[in-house]
Structure 1
Amino acid sequence: MSDLPIIDAPSPNFNERKLPVSMIVLHYTGMETGEAALERLRDPAAEVSAHYLVEEDGRIFRLVDEDKRAWHAGRAHWRGIKDVNSASVGIEIVNPGHDHGYRNFTEAQMSAVIPLVAEIKERHGITRGNVVGHSDVAPARKQDPGELFNWHALARLRLALPRPTRNLVDPGWPDAGFMLALERFGYDVEDRVAAVTAFQRRFRPEMIDGEIDAECRCLLLALLLPKPQGDD
């Protein structure tokens, strides 16, 4: 059980898992208010949900028990898993998103998200490479939690992969080689530009152009090594 103060707000939108939990997927709500997002995630007609929602003031709502399959990822793929909903715990973080005035996530939110991710990760033995964003598992459809999400705060606590900063070497892959490596790392590369964009949004958020360049190659090679190293 969690030691965090969690508010139960049950959603009817779930079914039974078909896979063991091996992933955490982070989202933003992409709606104008947290109240509207919470209402939608609990509306049977909407047919969407998540396991948790984190408000801007740091309150954590539990919508679906972790042993159930919440409906948060949609059509998604990560490291060979196509039923991402069955294999993941979904966390919605209140933020209006790119369509409604995307902004920085609050300190209160990050102070809630970090221990929540830590508890889930430990509870299910999830590797840090499987703590991902919605855009990572659905690059052709989604942008969340987006380039403003503070992945570094999770990575420095070994709760997610870091952005590599040390011993970077350009392997000189042709673009086709980069895409093969990106697929090996975990991405669905059917839409090439979308996959590269999602990779950049996660690991090089200051420049998101969908173009493969030397920095992208350096970052991806480092991430494929057993222990990618970033700044603490």
Structure 2
Amino acid sequence: MGSDSVPQGRRELKPVPVTVTGAPGALWHPSENHGARRDAARPDLIVLHHTAMDSAEAALERLCDPAPPQGLSPVSAHYLIAEDGRLWQLVDEAARAWHAGVGQWGDVVDVNSRSIGIELANPAPNPFAEPQMARLEALLPGIMARWDIPPARVIGHSDMAPGRKSDPGPKFDWRRLARQGLAVWPEGAGAGAPGDFLHDLAAIGYRMPEGGVPEILLEAFRMRFRPWGRGPLGTADRALAAQLARQVPVRRG
């Protein structure tokens, strides 16, 4: 039936498009697992994750489940990218998704209220598929422009939760993102004198978790910047940390 079927004197009701702050072209698949950003915070971090689940569809179901099995908490993210490049948006960018959990980056302790969370479907520790990386590279510039987020504040879950989280993992290509201005990577890595490793990591943004030991921070740092590193803390680790502390000190506040 067309518009001729509308009774005289009554206005036809048309669907109202949903207005969502986010990526054009993303499949809108809303999750109930979100809330308001605390203290009217704006996102100034982007946190990258991997799902560690068998499929993107399984991850999508988990991220949208308001009542998960006993022992599991409701979780969400703003975006989910499948291995084949499909992109879902689950939470409006202006809202607080539940992806980061306990952790800290620089002075930011409520990372959920200050970040956009992006999940990459990957059962881990597989390399990340080309269509998935291409979609991520297309997604990030818009988010960074909308919220004025610099490359140094695109981080991994393992960066803000060392010892507790290991994603997106040592096989994620951070250097590829950095070449496009979407993250940071130390070109000419290790140039310069080594410094105080823990002091330099704090300058970059890393924070020791409660009850943690220095080896936890070393593991997180290497996972991001020296995934080939092995053994105890060495001169190369210290020189690289000192270089990054000079180049990309964490933004305060």
TM-score under structure 1 normalisation? Answer: 0.89
Q: How does 1:51-130 map to 2 (within 5 A)?
A: 51-97=78-124, 102-130=125-153
Give the distance between the partners of 1:43 and 1:201, measured in 2 at CA. 30
Could you say what secondary structure the match of 1:26 adopts? strand
Following superposition, the deviation at residue 164 of structure 1 comes to: 3.4
Following superposition, the deviation at residue 227 of structure 1 comes to: 6.5
Give the distance between the partners of 1:3 and 1:124, measured in 2 at CA. 13
The answer for the alignment partner of 2:10 in structure 1 is none
Give the distance between the partners of 2:160 and 2:109, measured in 1 at CA. 9
Q: Deviations over 1:60-86 (max 9, x none)?
A: 000000000000000010011000000
Q: Deviations over 1:122-155 (max 9, x none)?
A: 1111111110000001012000000111111110
2:200 to 181, 185, 192: 181
2:252 matches 1:225:
no
Indicate the structure (1 or 2) with the bigger Cα radius of gyration.
2
Extract unaligned runs of 5+ from structure 1: none
Following superposition, the deviation at residue 93 of structure 1 comes to: 0.2
* Cα distance change, pair 2–68 in 1 and its aligned pair in 2 (3 A): closer
Following superposition, the deviation at residue 167 of structure 1 comes to: 7.0
Extract unaligned runs of 5+ from structure 2: 1-20, 69-73
- For the 8 Å contact 2:80–2:89, the answer to whether it is kept is yes
The code of the aligned residue for 1:86 comes to: S
Q: How does 1:14-53 map to 2 (within 5 A)?
A: 14-18=34-38, 19-46=41-68, 47-53=74-80
Figure out how many residues of one structure are paired with residues of the other and give that number: 219
Give the distance between the partners of 1:80 and 1:213, measured in 2 at CA. 27
Following superposition, the deviation at residue 214 of structure 1 comes to: 0.8
- For the 8 Å contact 2:152–2:248, the answer to whether it is kept is no
Could you say what secondary structure the match of 2:247 adopts? coil
2:192 matches 1:169:
yes
What stretches of structure 1 move > 4 A for 4+ residues in a row? 1-4
Identity %: 42
Give the distance between the partners of 1:143 and 1:207, measured in 2 at CA. 15
The code of the aligned residue for 2:117 comes to: G
* Cα distance change, pair 16–2 in 1 and its aligned pair in 2 (3 A): closer
The answer for the alignment partner of 1:207 in structure 2 is 229
Could you say what secondary structure the match of 2:202 adopts? helix
- For the 8 Å contact 2:31–2:64, the answer to whether it is kept is yes
The code of the aligned residue for 2:199 comes to: L
